[in-house]
């Protein structure tokens, strides 16, 4: 999707946004934005005044003045609507290209008796079993239960190189709309129609499921309160003006109100939020909620899973290493025995290596065996043979406990040999037959490139990185060092990952978690920001509130930057908007009252042509500032990786002081132009 980012001024998007700006005039829609709704009511009243100048009491102003105020107000509302429509339009364009991916296909449903029935993909339900052959489109989201295939996921990730997906382990999930390019698989459907990953993606980028974030709601409330206060101020101005025998017309009062209420931020607020979400999508990250993106902007701690997140996760058996006086062939056979029924990628790689070395084990010998599947909880897998023989392999510390329970002894060279593998960054698995440890399997994995520099950037931003892994402390230490994370937690079970997150949260910190495995799912759900790798399992993706389509754990950096930028943009434009309103106050009030109160002369620094010209100039400025700020709302304020407080101070100065000065210049220029025109 990265290459589908649209330029700000794509012709089609702009013309659609213009049409939508008018559609959004519907009061039922406007009501959601109280500040602009007040402007719309003002527009309506001045429309009446344009025809019936005396509709609300005697009037001294010309029909032309009423019409001018009406038109400027109308454009103010339209400009605000346009900003929102433009932001929405850009999301919709992304959704449209995704929707093209989503087409009905024929699915080969495997029935109870094993026969195949062809059905439309829209008829598939959760739990259905489907066969997908070479060149077929995968009809729905699911988990592979049989086979291995290379899959072209470019429709979703934009990445053209196919990925290998296989039954068992962390690489078994497939996404509807992607295509099998070699081999065939049998999969179990995991989503009902309309609820697939692609459906969610479309409604996300389209903004259909967008909800206001808590921050946005708080700001909207604040702006509404400000608006009400100014309403009261304007109403109380009337008797005051009467007393001073200054005639304030209804159109002038409305214009004054609109100039004083925070229309700039009110008009741009929702566009800022939508544009922030669009920017996340352009980085190939799917954010399920704006809240998560904003939370990313404030993250203190980042917890990462090792296998599949920091490393590629295709852990392969590289070597069998016997311990004590066990022969190489006995060890190889035991490794094979422990893995024939292990469907994880690790298990399959062990079987493959054993076969390469020449080990054979007849199928009938294990046909009746009891299978002990691998779990993250036991950190072991293996078989119980009918004769009573138990075969296990697993994490060294887990196997040691298992052997102790069987009254076995620990070979004296086990720790040293396991340490050797671990210090090289590999994962040692110990293999046992009954109460005897025969040796170690060396599982190799590769750290993804470029992590060190990116983690250093996180450190510079004051974010702590913690690697949390089920692997042993030595391997963890080696990988932690190679990847450049600040801390690590080893031998972590799923509940330990959650505990690590809760511990940080208890200290008032915002925590991000990145992971890919089913064992990461609970932690991804617990974290304030849960970023799942697209290569990971459905469980992980469902628990997370963001998915990285490129499966790059450092992508969070970009999301953090976007989150911070979103918060800063909103803060800056709010400051600018309110500073503007203060400046407008000083432009208009002296101009209105100067005849009745000559003492105001000292405040009349702008020397505008006439009270009416002052009002119209301020109102025009108030309207045009909205479209002028659309580029900042859309692209975000300039963001630099610097200390948050310094950034805030700098922006408050820039947008606060600028916000006071710009209107003085702008209004004066408009006033001069009006004076020459009229
Ligand atoms: N198929 C398997 N059979 C037996 N033991 C295994 C198997 N796969 C992994 N193990 C052992 O169990 C440990 C825990 O595995 P788990 O998948 O929970 O975490 P991990 O993949 O090592 O780390 P991470 O949590 O970073 O992904 C591994 O470190 C390894 O020692
Ligand atoms: K205003
Ligand atoms: Mg993992």
Tens digit of pLDDT for each residue in 96-124?
A: 777 776 667 889 999 999 999 999 988 99
In contact, 50 and 64? CB cutoff 8 Å? no
Task: Reply yes or no on whether the pLDDT at 639 is more than 50.
Answer: yes
User: How far apart are alpha carbons 465 and 485 in whole angstroms?
Assistant: 5
Is ligand 1 within 6 A of the CB of residue 475? Answer: no
Task: Reply yes or no on whether the pLDDT at 606 is more than 90.
Answer: no
State yes or no: is 10 an active-site residue: no
Identify the band that residue 11 occupies on the pLDDT scale cut at 50, 70 and 90: confident
Identify the band that residue 2 occupies on the pLDDT scale cut at 50, 70 and 90: very low
The DSSP secondary-structure symbol of 170 reads G
Taking only the tens place, the pLDDT of each residue in 124-150 is 999 999 999 999 999 999 999 999 899
Longest Cα separation, the chain: 110
User: How far apart are alpha carbons 648 and 636 in whole angstroms?
Assistant: 14
Of 47-56, 152-161, 446-455, where does mean pLDDT reach its minimum?
152-161
Q: Choose among 220, 229, 199, 137: nearest CA to 174.
A: 137
235 alpha carbon – ligand 2 mean position (Å) = 17
Identify the band that residue 286 occupies on the pLDDT scale cut at 50, 70 and 90: confident
Task: Reply yes or no on whether the pLDDT at 485 is more than 90.
Answer: yes
Tokens encoding 663: 């209107």
- Classified as helix, coil or strand, 212 is coil
The DSSP secondary-structure symbol of 62 reads -
pLDDT value of residue 643: 64
Is ligand 1 within 6 A of the CB of residue 316? Answer: no
Round the average pLDDT of the chain to a whole number and report it.
Answer: 89
259 alpha carbon – ligand 2 mean position (Å) = 4
In contact, 347 and 374? CB cutoff 8 Å? yes
Q: How far is CA 504 from the centre of its chain?
A: 21
Query: Which ligand 1 atom is at minimum distance from the Cα of 468?
Result: 26
Question: What mean pLDDT do residues 522-527 have?
Answer: 94
Start-to-end CA span in the chain (Å)? 52
- List Cβ neighbours of 238 (8 Å cut-off, separation of 6 or more): 248, 253
Is ligand 1 within 6 A of the CB of residue 514? Answer: no
- Classified as helix, coil or strand, 294 is helix
Is ligand 1 within 6 A of the CB of residue 305? Answer: yes
pLDDT value of residue 9: 61
Query: Which ligand 1 atom is at minimum distance from the Cα of 393?
Result: 4
In contact, 633 and 571? CB cutoff 8 Å? no
* Whole-number percent of the chain with pLDDT over 70: 97
Q: Give backbone dihedrals phi and psi of 367, rounded to 5 degrees, phi first.
A: -60, -35
Q: What ipTM was reported for this prediction? A: 0.94
Residues in the chain: 678
User: How far apart are alpha carbons 487 and 468 in whole angstroms?
Assistant: 9
Using the structure block, give the residue that is written with the tokens 């023989």: 389
User: How far apart are alpha carbons 480 and 472 in whole angstroms?
Assistant: 12
Residue 342 annotated as part of some ligand binding site? yes
**Which of 128, 305, 552, 671 is flagged as catalytic?**
305
pLDDT value of residue 484: 94
Instruction: Give the pairing of strands 106-110 and 116-120.
Output: antiparallel
CB-based burial, 327-363: b 16+ in 10 Å, e otherwise:
eeebbbbbbbbbbbbbbbbbbbbbbebbeeeebeeee
Identify the band that residue 3 occupies on the pLDDT scale cut at 50, 70 and 90: very low
Identify the band that residue 624 occupies on the pLDDT scale cut at 50, 70 and 90: very high
pLDDT value of residue 469: 93
Question: What mean pLDDT do residues 377-393 have?
Answer: 94
User: How far apart are alpha carbons 369 and 384 in whole angstroms?
Assistant: 6
- In DSSP notation, 348-393 reads HHHHHHHHHHT----HHHHTTPEEE---TTT-EEEEE-TTS-EEEE
User: How far apart are alpha carbons 67 and 51 in whole angstroms?
Assistant: 9
User: How far apart are alpha carbons 44 and 567 in whole angstroms?
Assistant: 34
The DSSP secondary-structure symbol of 261 reads S
Taking only the tens place, the pLDDT of each residue in 238-285 is 888 888 888 788 999 999 999 999 999 999 999 999 899 888 888 889
In contact, 265 and 223? CB cutoff 8 Å? yes
Identify the band that residue 641 occupies on the pLDDT scale cut at 50, 70 and 90: low
Q: Which ligand is nearest to the CA of 440?
A: 1
Taking only the tens place, the pLDDT of each residue in 62-89 is 889 999 999 999 999 999 999 999 988 8
Task: Reply yes or no on whether the pLDDT at 647 is more than 70.
Answer: yes
Domains and CATH numbers, the chain: 11-94+205-281+560-676 (no CATH), 285-310+448-549 (3.40.50.1000), 315-443 (3.40.1110.10)
- Classified as helix, coil or strand, 142 is strand
User: How far apart are alpha carbons 370 and 120 in whole angstroms?
Assistant: 39
Q: Choose among 562, 529, 553, 555: nearest CA to 543.
A: 529
In contact, 514 and 553? CB cutoff 8 Å? yes
Is ligand 1 within 6 A of the CB of residue 488? Answer: no
Task: Reply yes or no on whether the pLDDT at 616 is more than 90.
Answer: yes
Question: What mean pLDDT do residues 588-597 have?
Answer: 78
Of 317-331, 367-381, 592-606, where does mean pLDDT reach its minimum?
592-606
């Amino acid at each position: 999707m990265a290459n589908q980012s649209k330029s700000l001024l794509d012709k089609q998007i702009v013309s659609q946004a213009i049409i939508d700006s008018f559609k959004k005039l519907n009061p039922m829609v406007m009501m959601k934005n109280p500040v602009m709704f007040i402007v719309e009511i003002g527009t309506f009243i001045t429309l009446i005044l344009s025809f019936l100048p005396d509709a609300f009491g005697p009037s001294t102003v010309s029909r032309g003045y009423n019409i001018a105020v009406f038109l400027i107000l109308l454009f103010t509302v339209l400009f605000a609507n346009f900003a929102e429509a433009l932001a929405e339009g850009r999301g919709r364009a992304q959704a449209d290209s995704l929707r093209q991916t989503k087409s009905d296909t024929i699915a080969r449903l495997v029935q109870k008796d094993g026969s195949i029935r062809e059905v439309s993909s829209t008829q598939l339900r959760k739990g259905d079993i489907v066969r997908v052959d070479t060149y077929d489109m995968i009809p729905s989201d699911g988990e592979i239960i049989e086979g291995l295939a290379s899959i072209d996921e470019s429709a979703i990730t934009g990445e053209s190189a196919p990925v290998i997906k296989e039954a068992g382990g962390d690489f078994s999930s497939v996404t509807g709309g992607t295509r099998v390019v070699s081999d065939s698989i049998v999969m179990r459907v995991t989503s009902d129609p309309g609820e697939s990953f692609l459906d969610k993606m479309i409604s996300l980028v389209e903004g259909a499921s967008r909800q206001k974030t808590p921050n946005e709601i708080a700001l909207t409330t604040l702006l509404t309160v400000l608006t009400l206060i100014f309403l009261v101020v304007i109403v109380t101005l009337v008797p005051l003006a009467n007393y001073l025998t200054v005639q304030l017309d209804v159109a002038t009062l409305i214009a004054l109100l609109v100039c004083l209420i925070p229309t700039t931020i009110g008009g741009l607020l929702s566009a800022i939020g939508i544009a922030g979400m669009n920017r996340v999508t352009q980085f190939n990250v799917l954010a399920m909620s704006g809240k998560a993106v904003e939370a990313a902007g404030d993250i203190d701690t980042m917890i990462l899973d090792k296998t599949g997140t920091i490393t590629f996760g295709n852990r392969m058996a590289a070597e069998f290493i016997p311990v004590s006086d066990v022969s190489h062939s006995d060890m190889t056979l035991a490794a094979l025995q422990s893995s024939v029924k292990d469907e994880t990628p690790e298990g399959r790689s062990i079987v493959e290596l054993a076969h390469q070395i020449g080990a054979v084990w007849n199928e009938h010998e294990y046909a009746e065996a009891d299978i002990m599947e691998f779990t993250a909880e036991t950190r072991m897998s293996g078989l119980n043979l009918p004769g009573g023989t138990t075969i296990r392999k697993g994490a060294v510390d887990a196997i040691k406990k298992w052997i102790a329970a069987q009254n076995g002894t620990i070979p004296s060279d086990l720790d040293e040999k396991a340490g050797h593998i671990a210090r090289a960054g590999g994962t040692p698995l110990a293999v046992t037959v009954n109460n005897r440890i025969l040796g170690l399997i060396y599982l190799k994995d590769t750290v993804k490139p470029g992590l060190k520099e990116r983690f250093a950037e996180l450190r510079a931003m004051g974010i702590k990185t913690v690697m949390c892994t089920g692997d042993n402390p030595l391997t963890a230490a080696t990988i932690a060092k190679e990847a450049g994370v600040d801390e690590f937690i080893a031998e972590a079970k799923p509940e330990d990952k959650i505990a690590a997150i809760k511990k940080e949260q208890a200290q008032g910190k915002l925590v991000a978690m990145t992971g890919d495995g089913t064992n990461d799912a609970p932690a991804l759900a617990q974290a304030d920001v849960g970023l799942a790798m697209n290569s990971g399992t459905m469980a992980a993706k469902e628990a997370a509130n963001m998915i990285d389509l490129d499966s790059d754990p450092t992508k969070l950096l970009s999301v953090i930057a976007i989150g911070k930028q979103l918060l800063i943009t909103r803060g800056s434009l709010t400051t600018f908007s309110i500073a503007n309103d203060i400046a407008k106050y000083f432009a208009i009030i002296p101009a209105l009252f100067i005849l009745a109160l000559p003492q105001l002369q000292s405040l009349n620094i702008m020397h505008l042509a006439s009270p009416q010209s002052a009002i119209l100039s301020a109102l025009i400025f108030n309207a045009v500032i909205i479209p002028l700020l659309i580029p900042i709302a859309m692209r975000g304020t300039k963001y630099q990786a610097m200390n948050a407080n310094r950034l805030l101070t700098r922006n408050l100065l820039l947008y606060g002081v600028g916000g006071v000065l710009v209107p003085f210049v702008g209004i004066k220029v408009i006033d001069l132009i009006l004076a020459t025109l009229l």
